[in-house]
Amino acid sequence: MISINIQKNIKTYKGRYRLTVADSFPAGSVTKVYGPSGIGKTTFLRIIAGLSTPEQGKIVVHGQTWLDTAAGINMSPQERKAGFVFQDYALFPNMTVREHLQYASTDELLISRLLTMGRMESFDSHKPQHLSGGQQQRLAILRALAQRPKLLLMDEAFSALDDELREDLITDLKIILKEFETTTIIVSHHAQETLGFADRSLKID
């Protein structure tokens, strides 16, 4: 069970605006977060991961307080270890596909399994700049999974994948997330994209 209650001032096209999110996420659930572009969805995920600090807020994950501005608690991103699939992937230009996963995990069995799941076996020695957009996005997902995160944050993580590939990936994802007992929050614009994956949804606006 993860409870989040945060407030942060951001600027949107409507002018200055106070991003407010308060919700609880059951353990193991997959929550879809949606809302207009530029409203603060990415900012919300960054706050959860510890990459951005809200003016006010409290985040409690499985009984552990990650953030409490009132009490002055603010765990570092390293301590939170949330799996994060960045909207712009944030892949490491110096590492091959396999090295990305090895950076996150020493479990070679898991790495092989992930490579197969993402259909990336034949690219395992490629660097990001030699991957197609969809391959880069899959690598970003696999890298986040490799660290067996308790909390997985996905920012538009399926936007570059075609329907067939996405559906196959979702099937595999559900199995692995169950196995890892991961709670997932996914930002997505398209209703269809998270069909059969998300079991709850949260609108930000």
Ligand X SMILES: Nc1ncnc2c1ncn2[C@@H]1O[C@H](COP(=O)(O)OP(=O)(O)OP(=O)(O)O)[C@@H](O)[C@H]1O
Our CB check for a second copy shows the closer of 91 and 177 to be 91
Name the minimum Å distance from CB 65 to a second copy.
Answer: 28
d(CA 37, CA 63): 32
Q: Which is nearer to ligand X, 20 or 105 (CB)?
A: 20
Please give the C-alpha separations between residue 12 and each of 66, 155, 186, in angstroms, as whole numbers.
27, 18, 21
CB of 27 to a second copy, least distance (A): 28
Q: Per CB under 8 A, which region of 19-27, 62-70, 92-100, 125-133 contacts a second copy?
A: 125-133
Give me the 73-112 binding string for a second copy, x by CB under 8 A, dash otherwise: --------------xx------------------------
75 belongs to the binding site for another protein (CB under 8 A): no
Residue 135 binds which entry of Mg ion, ligand X, another protein, none, CB below 5-8 Å type-dependent: ligand X
Residue 35 interacts with which of another protein, a second copy, Mg ion, none, CB < 5 to 8 Å by class: a second copy
Match 């308790």 to its residue by tokens.
Answer: 150
Task: Give yes or no for a contact between 53 and 74, defined as CB atoms under 8 angstroms apart.
Answer: yes
Q: Which is nearer to another protein, 98 or 166 (CB)?
A: 98
CB of 190 to Mg ion, least distance (A): 14
The binding site for a second copy (CB under 8 A) comprises 11, 13-15, 34-38, 41-42, 87-88, 119-123, 131-135, 138, 155-156, 159-165, 189-193
The binding site for another protein (CB under 8 A) comprises 11, 49-51, 76-84, 86, 88, 90-96, 103-104, 125-127, 129-130, 143, 147
